[in-house]
């Protein structure tokens, strides 16, 4: 097994008499995207803040590369994207990114270059020198992603990153997170968009009532119905991955079968969420 840059064990955090996180554990490994799923009020944002070193746990342990991690060490290693990135509206996106880069002790020239690079990656170059107040909600989210990447983080934590993004930006976000993981980062994404989350993550952690547990996800199911068959006669077949499903469809067509319907059933992640029996929020 490779290095584990961030391992949290038995984290708990209360606000007054209200427990937000109770005995939560999660392991984030390089090259892996982990999904964090649960209803509103489950403690997901509080857990992310604990992992980012922005809140102190009441109990539990955080290890970075096998050693206890304090808040400064976490903040240096982590990139954090909150669900709503507050901007200084009088500054431009370029100035905002340069400011954050300087906070990580990046030299002025390197900070400016990094800002230019990131604004190009999130398709905000043409807005680089306009006031941030002119950005739309989706553009602010993309700027928030750029800000989270300023320090080339080894651990990337994102809270509802696709909120307010248009479909094209969501696809690009998925590609950017996969690129970050492929470059060696450990990525944790909290999202309510379960179908999109399932397409990008390698593993899932469920959270409800402040507690975490790994999700047991089965193989994807596909609904297959031939021409002339009734809806009730359709078969549900499980395949290991999309490539296996595509190969099966090709074989059916090659054998002369007239396929009227070949579609993925409701997501395994969605079913795992429903199995939580969590209250509606």
Over residues 129-163, the pLDDT tens digits come to 999 999 998 999 999 999 999 999 999 999 999 88
Nearest to residue 189, comparing CAs of 51, 85, 34?
34
Q: Is residue 44 one of the residues assigned to a domain? A: yes
Q: Are both 245 and 148 inside the same structural domain?
A: no
Same domain as 254, residue 172:
no
98-112, 168-182, 189-203, 241-255: range with lowest mean pLDDT:
189-203
Say whether both 138 and 23 belong to one domain. yes
Degrees to nearest 5, angle at CA 18 with 12 and 21 = 25
CA distance 57 to 65: 19
Number of domains in the chain: 2
The verdict on 120 and 191 lying in the same domain is: yes
158 and 259 both lie in a single domain: no
The answer to whether residue 161 is domain-embedded is yes
Q: For 177-188, what is the mean pLDDT? A: 94
Residue 6's pLDDT is what? 94
- The per-residue pLDDT for range 60-113, each reduced to its tens digit, is 999 998 899 988 999 999 999 998 877 788 899 999 999 999 999 999 999 999
Residue 179 lies in a domain: yes
Residue 75 and residue 241: Cα distance in Å, rounded? 37
Q: For residue 281, is it within any domain? A: no
Which residue in this structure is represented by tokens 């995207």? 33
Instruction: Give me 48's structure tokens.
Output: 């992310």
Domain boundary among 214, 229, 249: 214
pTM of the model: 0.80
Backbone angles phi, psi at 81, to 5 degrees: -120, 105
- In this predicted structure, the answer to whether residue 271 has a pLDDT above a threshold of 70 is no
Nearest residue to 71 via CA among 48, 52, 45, 44: 52
The answer on 240 and 140 residing in a single domain is no
- In terms of pLDDT, which residue wins out, 30 or 222? 30
Query: CB–CB of 37/87 below 8 Å?
Result: no
Distance CA 119, CA 104 (A): 18
> Does the pLDDT of residue 183 top 70, yes or no?
yes
Q: Tell whether 270 is covered by a domain.
A: no
Q: Is the pLDDT of residue 1 over 50?
A: no
- Same domain, residue pair 254 and 205: no
- Which residue, 182, 214, 246, sits at the end of a domain? 214
Residue 218 — pLDDT band, cuts 50, 70, 90? low
Are 228 and 260 members of one domain? yes
- Of 88, 85, 99, 90, the closest CA to residue 131 belongs to 90
Domain CATH number, residue 29: 3.40.50.300
Confidence of residue 266 (pLDDT cuts 50, 70, 90): low
In this structure, are 120 and 178 located in the same domain? yes
Q: Do 144 and 70 share a structural domain?
A: yes
Domain membership flag for residue 37: yes
Residues 90 and 203 both lie in one domain: yes
The residue segments making up the domain with residue 226 are 221-264
Q: Is residue 276 part of a domain?
A: no
Does residue 272 lie in a domain region?
A: no
Query: Are residues 87 and 34 part of one domain?
Result: yes
HEC sequence for the chain: CCCCCEEEEEEEEEECCEEEEEEEEEEECCCCEEEEECCCCCCHHHHHHHHCCCCCCCEEEEEECCEECCHHHHHHHEEEECCCCCCCCCCCHHHHHHHHHHHCCCCHHHHHHHHHHHHHHCCCHHHCCCCHHHCCHHHHHHHHHHHHCCCCCCEEEEECCCCCCCHHHHHHHHHHHHHHHHCCCEEEEECCCHHHHHHHCCEEEEEECCEEEECCCCCCEEEEEECCCCHHHCEEEECCCHHHHHHHHHHHHHCCCCEEEEEECCCHHHHHHHCCCCCCC
- Per the CB < 8 A criterion, the answer to whether 154 and 185 are in contact is yes
Q: Judge residue 163's burial from the number of C-beta atoms within 10 Å of its C-beta, 0-12 exposed, 13-18 middle, 19 or more buried.
A: middle
């Amino acid at each position: 097994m490779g290095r584990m840059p961030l391992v949290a064990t038995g984290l708990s955090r209360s606000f007054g008499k209200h427990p937000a996180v109770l005995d939560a554990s999660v392991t984030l490994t390089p090259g892996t995207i982990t999904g964090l799923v649960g209803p509103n009020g489950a403690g997901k944002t509080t857990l992310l803040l604990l992992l980012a070193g922005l809140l102190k746990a009441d109990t539990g342990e955080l290890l970075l590369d096998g050693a206890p991690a304090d808040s400064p060490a976490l903040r240096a290693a982590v990139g954090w994207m909150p669900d709503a990135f507050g901007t200084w509206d009088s500054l431009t996106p370029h100035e905002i990114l340069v400011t954050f880069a300087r906070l990580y002790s990046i030299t002025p020239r390197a900070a400016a270059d990094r800002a230019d690079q990131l604004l190009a990656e999130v398709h905000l170059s043409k807005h680089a020198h306009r006031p941030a107040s002119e950005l739309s909600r989706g553009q602010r989210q993309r700027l928030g992603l750029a800000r989270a990447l300023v320090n080339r983080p080894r651990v990337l934590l994102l809270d509802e990153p696709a909120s307010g993004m248009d479909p094209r930006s969501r696809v690009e976000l998925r590609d950017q997170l996969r690129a970050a993981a492929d470059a060696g980062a450990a990525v944790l994404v909290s999202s309510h968009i379960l179908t999109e989350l399932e397409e990008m993550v390698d593993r899932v952690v469920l959270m409800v009532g402040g507690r975490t547990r790994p999700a047991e996800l089965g193989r994807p199911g596909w609904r297959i119905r031939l021409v002339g068959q009734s809806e009730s006669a359709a078969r549900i077949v499980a395949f290991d991955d999309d490539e296996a499903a595509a190969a099966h469809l090709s074989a059916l067509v090659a054998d002369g079968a007239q396929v009227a319907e070949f579609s993925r059933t409701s997501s395994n992640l969605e079913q795992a969420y429903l199995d939580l029996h969590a209250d509606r929020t």
